[in-house]
């Protein structure tokens, strides 16, 4: 007989953490190599679909707070990365809990059988549940379904078995003796040193995790973003419609035409859906006389192509935030689409659903009254990037992004409006864009000498959805509002670049901005957060001016002039 030394659940937690890291690396490698599901992201997406809207929004808000406070870069990319890290942490935490539970359960057994059945059963159950969740939300796995199920179950079963093996070794780690049956001699079996054993397990886990994840990253390229990184836009500067406008933006103002790689991205999945352009069809159903089913090529061929420069903003964009960008959209008129499908008399709204099951309702009479509403298949003169909704998305002027599905897979004509994805999570029903303005730059490092005076260029953007901008004003240290100059916008649907040349004074100053829309209505000055109707309020920037002394005697840069 040998004495059992039951390992604590804390040891189980440690083993769970180590083995789940290895499992994560293995899942990642299989995902990258063979298009098998990456369970940590699926689990995260599944849970976030279930969370109540306010909690979800609270979480996103705190994340944006942290990103802004610590200056972690462009908000939407940083938020997505934070989300992915959280997904990994949550999955490993779950593995820790499940393994601790396994240790606890095995400790309750009377006998000391060196069986692996409990761990195997635990792994199978864990894997089956994870596979069920994955099947609900996974948008990126491309392997055959049977292969997906087989792999996930196998991987988790192996995980459970490994938990069990380690448990057994730990439980039997006391020095024990055994009688050799043939000779009757007593043999002392070497005791297992638990600490040494755990160090070895830890080392092996670390190596496997690093090797698996490293290989995955090496062969990678799946997971959405693609490998080609181009910073330049395809649309050449010379083709921008306002190229001849004399007003130069104040140095430090954000680019008027957002480089495509810098366009913000917001959606509900850890990874964007992967749609195959050969298989994809736009499915039209419901109250129409002509329920077509169209390939991408048919969309190109059937409808006249239109182009528009468009600024898109997320309703979660804070005053002065970066969840707003401008690019060139190409596609076809939603009105032309209606003419093809022939809505029936009782059709009231279009239910538009994305491949991620994000849905929104668009009123039929809105489309009939606004020829600018479009279905877009290109941004910046190239097919939509996967993360921006390939192959098809909709544009609705004057609405925030939450009303405008990407990755459209189906359009159903229905007889009543209903709440879409974010509306059900208590965001604005109509999501009409608020007029806002932002000070991007107080260019203290680009002060200009103008006759006797020094001039400080100040500038930024103003945006009113489709309402256009008629005037922008600046106030310095709470003084009178002064008119800024406006650059001709790229279109009536984009933001406007403004500039205010301020006569230099020494000291500390606060520059505030406000804008009027096309109907000469002043923007809301009330400071209000993003939820539920989008942020409003006056944006400002503080700056300390250099001394006149340093302006007149600039420090010699270098001799090579």
- Site residues (CB under 5 A) for Mo ion, limited to 305-324: 314
Query: Going residue by residue from 245 to 264, which x/- string records binding to ligand MTE, judged by CB under 6 A?
Result: ------------------xx
At a CB cut-off of 8 Å and minimum separation 6, what does 325 contact? 258, 262, 263, 264, 311, 312
Encode 196-251 in three state secondary structure. HHHHHHHHHHHHHHHHHHHHHHHHCCCCCCCCCCCCCCCCCHHHCCCCCCCCCCCC
Task: Mark 84-93 as b/e (b = at least 16 C-beta within 10 Å).
Answer: bebbbeebbe
Whichever of 372 and 487 has its CB closer to ligand MTE, that residue is: 372
Please tell me whether residue 375 binds ligand MTE under the rule CB under 6 A.
no
Whichever of 25 and 384 has its CB closer to ligand MTE, that residue is: 384
Residue 17 burial class via C-beta count within 10 angstroms: exposed 0-12, middle 13-18, buried 19 and up: middle
Please tell me whether residue 312 binds ligand MTE under the rule CB under 6 A.
yes
DSSP secondary structure code for residue 435 in this structure: P
Sheet holding 359-363, edge to edge: 293-294, 282-286, 408-414, 349-354, 359-363
Q: According to CB under 6 A, which one of 42, 45, 225, 267 is a site residue for ligand MTE?
A: 267
Please tell me whether residue 80 binds ligand MTE under the rule CB under 6 A.
no
With contact defined as beta carbons under 8 Å apart, do 22 and 213 qualify?
no
Q: How far is the CB of 434 from ligand MTE (least distance, A)?
A: 14
Q: How far is the CB of 307 from ligand MTE (least distance, A)?
A: 17
Distance CA 52, CA 60 (A): 13
Give the range of 59-67, 107-115, 263-271, 324-332 binding Mo ion by CB under 5 A: 263-271
Please tell me whether residue 266 binds Mo ion under the rule CB under 5 A.
yes
Name which of Mo ion, ligand MTE, none residue 440 binds, using a CB cut-off of 5 to 8 Å depending on partner kind.
Answer: none
Total residues interacting with Mo ion, rule: CB under 5 A: 4
Give the range of 29-37, 207-215, 226-234, 398-406 binding ligand MTE by CB under 6 A: 398-406
Please tell me whether residue 63 binds ligand MTE under the rule CB under 6 A.
no
The angle that helices 117-137 and 39-50 make with each other, rounded to 10 degrees, is 60
Residue 262 burial class via C-beta count within 10 angstroms: exposed 0-12, middle 13-18, buried 19 and up: middle
DSSP secondary structure code for residue 72 in this structure: -
Name which of Mo ion, ligand MTE, none residue 420 binds, using a CB cut-off of 5 to 8 Å depending on partner kind.
Answer: none
Whichever of 118 and 401 has its CB closer to Mo ion, that residue is: 401
Give the CA radius of gyration of the chain.
30
DSSP secondary structure code for residue 192 in this structure: P
Give the range of 128-136, 400-408, 505-513, 545-553 binding ligand MTE by CB under 6 A: 400-408
With contact defined as beta carbons under 8 Å apart, do 431 and 420 qualify?
no
Q: How far is the CB of 548 from ligand MTE (least distance, A)?
A: 45
Whichever of 264 and 504 has its CB closer to Mo ion, that residue is: 264
**Chain residues in the site for Mo ion (CB under 5 A):** 266, 314, 401-402
**Chain residues in the site for ligand MTE (CB under 6 A):** 263-268, 312, 314, 354, 356, 358, 388-389, 401-402, 404-407
């Amino acid at each position: 007989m040998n004495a059992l030394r039951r390992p604590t659940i804390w040891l189980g937690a440690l083993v769970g953490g180590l083995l789940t890291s290895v499992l994560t690396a293995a899942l990642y490698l299989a995902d990258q190599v063979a298009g098998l599901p990456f369970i940590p992201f699926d689990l995260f997406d599944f849970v976030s679909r279930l969370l109540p809207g306010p909690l979800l929004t609270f979480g996103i808000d705190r994340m944006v707070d942290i990103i802004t406070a610590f200056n972690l870069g462009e908000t939407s990319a940083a938020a997505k990365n934070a989300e992915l890290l959280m997904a990994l942490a949550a999955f490993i935490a779950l593995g820790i809990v499940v393994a601790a539970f396994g240790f606890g359960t095995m400790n309750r057994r009377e006998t000391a059988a060196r069986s692996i059945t409990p761990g195997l059963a635990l792994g199978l159950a864990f894997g089956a549940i994870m596979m069920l969740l994955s099947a609900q939300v996974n948008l990126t796995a491309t392997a055959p379904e049977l292969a997906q199920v087989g792999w996930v179950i196998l991987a988790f079963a192996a995980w459970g078995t490994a938990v069990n093996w380690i448990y057994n070794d730990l439980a039997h780690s006391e020095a024990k003796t055994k009688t050799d049956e043939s000779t009757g001699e007593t043999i002392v079996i070497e005791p297992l040193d638990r600490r040494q054993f755990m160090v070895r397990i830890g080392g092996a886990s670390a190596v496997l995790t690093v090797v698996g994840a490293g290989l995955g990253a090496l062969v990678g390229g799946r997971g959405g973003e693609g490998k080609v990184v181009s910073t330049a836009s395809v649309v050449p500067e010379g083709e921008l419609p306002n190229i001849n406008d004399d007003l130069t933006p104040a140095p430090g103002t954000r680019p008027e035409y957002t480089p495509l790689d810098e366009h913000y991205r917001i959606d509900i999945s850890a990874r964007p859906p992967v749609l195959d352009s050969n298989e994809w069809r736009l499915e039209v159903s419901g109250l129409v006389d002509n329920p077509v089913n169209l390939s991408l090529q048919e969309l190109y061929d059937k409808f006249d192509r239109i182009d528009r420069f468009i600024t898109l903003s997320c309703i979660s964009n804070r005053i002065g935030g970066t969840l707003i960008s401008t690019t060139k959209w190409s596609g076809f008129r939603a009105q032309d689409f209606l003419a093809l499908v022939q809505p029936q008399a009782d059709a009231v709204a279009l239910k538009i659903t994305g491949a991620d099951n994000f849905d929104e309702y668009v009123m039929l009479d809105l489309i009939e009254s606004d020829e600018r509403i479009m279905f877009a298949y290109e941004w910046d003169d190239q097919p939509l990037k996967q993360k921006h909704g390939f192959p098809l998305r909709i544009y609705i002027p004057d609405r925030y992004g939450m009303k405008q599905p990407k990755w459209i897979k189906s359009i159903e004509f229905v007889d009543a409006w209903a709440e879409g994805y974010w509306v059900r999570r208590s965001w604005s029903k109509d999501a009409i864009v608020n007029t806002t303005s932002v000070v991007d730059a107080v260019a203290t490092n680009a002060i200009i000498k103008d006759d006797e005076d020094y001039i400080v260029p100040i500038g930024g953007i103003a945006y009113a959805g489709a309402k256009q901008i008629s005037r922008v004003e600046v106030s310095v240290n709470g003084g009178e509002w002064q008119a800024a100059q406006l650059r001709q916008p790229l279109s009536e649907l984009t933001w406007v670049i403004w500039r205010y040349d301020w006569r230099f004074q020494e000291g500390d100053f606060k520059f505030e901005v406000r804008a009027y829309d096309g109907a000469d209505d002043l923007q809301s000055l009330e400071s209000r957060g993003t939820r539920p109707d989008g942020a409003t309020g006056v944006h400002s920037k503080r700056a300390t001016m250099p001394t006149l002394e340093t302006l007149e005697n600039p420090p010699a840069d270098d001799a090579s002039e």
